[in-house]
A and B are shown apart, each in its own frame.
Chain A
Amino acid sequence: MIDFSQIDTNVPMLESKGLCKYFGGLKAVDNVDMKIMPGDIFGIIGPNGAGKTTFFNMCTGMYTPTKGNVYLMGEDVTGLSAERVARKKMARTFQNLQLFKFMSVLDNVKIGCHIGTKTNMVDSIFHTKRYKQDEEYVVHKSEEILRAIGLYEYRDTMAGNLAYGMQRKVEIARALALEPYILLLDEPAAGMNPQEKEELMEFIKMLNDGGYTIAVIEHDMKFVMNSCNRILVLNFGQKICEGTPDQVKSDKQVHEAYFGKGIIAGEAVKVHG
């Protein structure tokens, strides 16, 4: 398993300072500071179009920020390409599923093992020791993850043929194969039925107990309020609150921007209380 003991728990796992992303005149993300400490389950919430996904995209190197910086375990990773950031032990999933749809579930996860292996073309042609070790590792690792997430029996199914909720799980499995320290999940429960959601919540908590730091964008308030220890609220690209679930619930601005309007959200608060 992953060795989490090397992580300095005093340094934020992921930190953003004054992060901005403008699309022309649209300020999708505007001056957002955030701190995720190691071991957090960190929730990011906000109405549709608040800039949550854009924020994730900047953290993971998919977008270059207009302004501001991103720090991963104290290291400035602003402007690094997505593949470089992935190598620094940050993995993610996508809101609108970016699976290798036409590949088997197992192959999807195998590709997640890319940076954990070193086989080059010569190794693969001559089946060198490194090739054999890598292939063994990849199969072992992938199957282990699939077992843990409950997808083992579907390993040979084409990923695109699975039900929507299960495809989300495949994405998480694939991200885990990177052996990340921090996992960014963009609406992982979207499209899942209540039972699947429940299971996913348990699984995320289990990962967190195992040492992973988790950042999760989620619309389901029950999920967020019950599972996250810290929450960031975005609205129109700006941070309106960051704190514990209780702080967020009692924040006036959050109520005005978010809870005040939504009945669903109001109920969620009750559920927790």
Chain B
Amino acid sequence: MEKAKDFYEKHKLIVYLILFAVSLVVPFVIEQALILRYICTIMMYATLAGSLNVINGYSGQTCLGQAGFFCIGAYTCAALTKNFGVSFWIVLPLAGILAALVGLLVSLPTLKLSGIYLSIVTLGASEIIRIIAQTWTPVTGGALGIKQIPYPNLFGLELFRPKYYYFIFLIIGVLFLFITSRVLRSRVGRAWMAIREDQVAAKSLGVETSRCKCTNFMYGAFWAGIIGAAYAPFVNYIESSQFTTDTGFNVLAMVVIGGQGTLLGPIIGSAIVTILTETLRFLENWRYVIYAIIIILMMWVRPQGLLGASDSILAGGKIRRKEKEQGGKKA
């Protein structure tokens, strides 16, 4: 782990170039459409889990309703492109903005709440959104959902092959990582983390915790909306049952397994959960038992997730004193 980090620090440019080259080649090397679709799914969930991680991992709130924001994005895209023929490329940011606005609405009553109460509100909001999608037939197609969602069109080229979605999800994912890492390394991100670490202290330093929590929620919801919008044409058919709280918990599992509060964690988590979902398909519903066991084990052995630091508030809040290091420095 440490070695990998060192190597990355030293040869950043090389690492990026290799990753870039590999990611360009992948869709041309892998011929089977099915596998490519799995890779697309992993990338999609990686960004969705990443967006949840911004809320849960970086500002320390507990949102359980990411499926709701995802749902808004997907329906915005499906309804607008299908019924009004709006271009996918315009819908994409629009879906993000709409999800962010709903995120703001959800975060307002939660400002006075925290912990379990906040979780319940987000869970409820997610269900309300899904039920609206299920009921509002003229716009969302009701229980039947929306079929044959138009494929995005790029300069006359209709994007329907998995290869194309590979690039769509790749670009969204990379943009998400790039922008998020910049936000996190600024005053805004520091304020989020301060709230996660100690809200009372943050307030005493003049951090407007309410406002920061709102923007944090909106930011997370924004990306969930965007990825939802890209999801709609990818699966070509959406209906409300795709956005149940199960989906929300699934995404949460990815974040928890990969490591909250790390940028790479959700990507690893998404890969693990998606691959497990596919390989354990023969177990049918029993695979959910396996998930549950993995999450319980994870919480027990490594609450900070695979990539999380052991010295962190997300690892259960214990400080391991490094006497040696300190003594050495003092001398």
Contacts and interface: CB of A to CB of B under 8 A. Distances in A.
A161 B322 contact: yes
Nearest to B211: A83
Contact of B206 (A87, A120, A121): A87
B209 interface: yes
Given A102-B312, A114-B207, A62 B186 contact: no
Interface residues of B, number: 36
Contact of B186 (A92, A102, A112, A123): A123
A127 B174 CA distance: 18
Given A111-B202, A125-B179, A83 B208 contact: yes
Contacts of B207: 83, 111, 114
Contacts of A119: 186-188
Contact of B198 (A81, A98, A115): A98
Contacts of B313: 101-102
Interface string B174-215: 000001001101111111011001101111111111000001
A127 B182 CA distance: 8
B205 A178 contact: yes
Contacts of A9: none
B193 A103 contact: yes
A111 B329 contact: no
A121 B219 contact: yes
Contacts of B208: 83
A99 B325 contact: no
B183 A174 contact: no
B325 to A, nearest CB: 7
A110 interface: yes
Given A135-B186, A163-B326, A100 B201 contact: yes
Contacts of A162: 326
A94 B206 CA distance: 15
A120 B319 contact: no
A103 B219 contact: no
A111 B219 contact: no
B188 A124 contact: yes
A158 interface: yes
A154 interface: yes
Contacts of A114: 187, 190-191, 194, 205-207
Contacts of B246: none
A127 B205 CA distance: 24
Given A100-B198, A101-B197, A161-B326, A121 B190 contact: no
A110 B193 CA distance: 12
B182 A125 contact: yes
Nearest to A138: B187
A79 interface: no
B312 A174 contact: no
Contacts of B187: 113-114, 117-119, 124, 134, 138
Contacts of A117: 187
B220 to A, nearest CB: 13
Interface in A117-175: 117-121, 123-125, 127, 131, 134-135, 138, 153-154, 157-158, 160-163, 174-175
A110 B329 contact: no
Interface string A46-79: 0000000000000010100000000000000000
A100 B194 contact: yes
Nearest to B219: A121
Interface of B: 179, 182-183, 185-191, 193-194, 197-198, 200-209, 215, 219, 311-313, 319-322, 325-326, 329
10 contacts: A82-B200, A83-B206, A98-B200, A101-B198, A103-B193, A111-B202, A118-B187, A119-B187, A161-B326, A178-B206
